[in-house]
Amino acid sequence: MSARSISPRPRVLIVDDSALMRALLKRMLAADGDIDVVGAACDAEEARALIPKLSPDVITLDVELPGMNGITFLERLMRSRPMPVIIVSSHTVSGASATIQALQAGALDVVAKPARRSDMEGFASALRDKVRGARHARLPGFRPAPSTPSAIRPTASAHGRRLIAIGASTGGVGAISSVLAQLPADMPPIVITQHMPPGYLERLAHRLAHQLSRDVAPAEEGEVLAPGMIRLAPSDRHLTVSGRAPHYRVRLSDGPPVSGHRPSVDVLFNSVAQSAGSDALGVLMTGMGRDGAAGLKAMRDAGAYCIGQSRDSCVVYGMPRAAAELGAVDEEIDLDEIAQKIVSVVTLPLISQAAK
């Protein structure tokens, strides 16, 4: 992890090519009086010059920059001077695609630029909250996720776990990408809830499908989950699982936010606990807050094997910590070891696991 001195108040550097947006972001960030905007840059070159002079705690970054694009800037920053970066992205298709690439490259989180004036207040509040949380983030040394599945191979067993449920928030895009890239293709179906603003989860699924050459897609109402499938909760909808093994089925809901989120990890995990019980494996990864902790406890109480990402490998040790405090975790594991553990658990007969 990178050691950083943290200021009493977050020191923010804004990087955006629009003078109007730079001024707007500065005003929004300073509104509550507990965040200091120490500088603003119109492109990557100016930002690179300002960083050593200003020593910001957090950078807000528009990835669509003139000259050196935001992705190249971010990748170089993560290699030379890792620090929390929050993407402030447009709603365009190109903006969403670049944002997903940035999150895989080490950016911490994303806030979508408001499309309407009525969205301004919510955008400003979300941005301030993410900046406050970001300055305490732990930054693992960035290693790109493998572009092809690793050599981890399962030993087929008719008696192992037949459903995998994963939840994550801040820092989760890179963590989930890394784990999925290490898993073999012939795994049980995997269902995932990742907190992201509307419109980005679909681009994440598309990018993962392309990178991994796997059946990765946003979940669709009523589809039957089959081995090899990876399904993500779609934007602004809860993902749940119904049915009984081996015929698990996707259900989607427009219900109210749970644990402050829609989609919610708690909603997914609670449904898996009810439908799959001991047939499931749950993984709760990096993220702020508590979403997923209670749901993981329900899964463990129902007989599922439950993994929490370790403190030292989390960008934000919030959700896994809350789960550990509830007694919801069988073991905490470093990010680099989660894929291997998943393979060993889903392929080991349940009677052997119960005997341990």
Q: Which residues are catalytic?
A: 169, 195, 291
Cα distances (Å, whole numbers) of residue 163 to 74, 193, 273, 334, 336: 35, 14, 11, 21, 21
Query: What angle, rounded to 10 degrees, do the helices at 172-182 and 335-347 form?
Result: 50
CA–CA gap between residue 95 and residue 62 (Å, rounded): 9
What SS3 class is residue 251? strand
Q: Write the DSSP symbol of residue 75.
A: H
Detail the DSSP E strand segments found in 235-338: 238-242, 249-253, 280-284, 305-309, 331-333
- Helix or strand run (H / E) with residue 343: helix 335-347
What phi and psi values does residue 231 have, to the nearest 5 degrees? -125, 130
- Helix or strand run (H / E) with residue 24: helix 19-30
ω into residue 257 within 30 of 0, thus cis? no
Decide if 333 contacts 341 (C-beta within 8 A). yes
Q: Which residues contact 210 (CB under 8 A, 6 or more apart)?
A: none
